[in-house]
Amino acid sequence: MTEAKVRIDKWLWAARFFKTRNLATEAVSGGKVHLNDGRVKPSHGLKPGDRLRIRKGELEFRIEVTALSERRGSASEAETLYREEPDSIAAREARRDERRLQHNAAPQPHGRPDKKARREWRRLTGK
């Protein structure tokens, strides 16, 4: 008896890691998705128990596949398809807190500059 397998790009789309199958295919082809610490093609079969490392921008997800699906369902259904490692969750939360602190530390303009500030800006830039 053969094991049930699902294409990795279809599964990533169904698990809501990517908005479209085309984006999922490009991510797998581009090396952003690793299956069991190795690069794969988008058509590679995925089975329960496989470990995935998914890189989206500056975020990295390390997950274990728990169920298969070729159909994209609700977000609550998608959460049942995988289990994320605790250290992966902690790393993403730490990165989120770091971004929040950087945003709060950056100077924020208080609105549109007035006439005096515009004149000063022109004088400084030489325009």
pTM of the model as a whole: 0.78
SS3 letters across 54-117:
EEECCEEEEEEECCCCCCCCCHHHHHCCEEECHHHHHHHHHHHHHHHHHHHHCCCCCCCCCHHH
Q: Would you state the pLDDT for residue 15?
A: 96
Q: How confident is the model at residue 25 (pLDDT cuts 50, 70, 90)?
A: very high
For residue 109, what pLDDT is reported?
77
More reliable by pLDDT, 51 or 109: 51
Q: How far is CA 101 from CA 60, 91, 96, 98, 125, in A?
A: 20, 15, 9, 5, 31
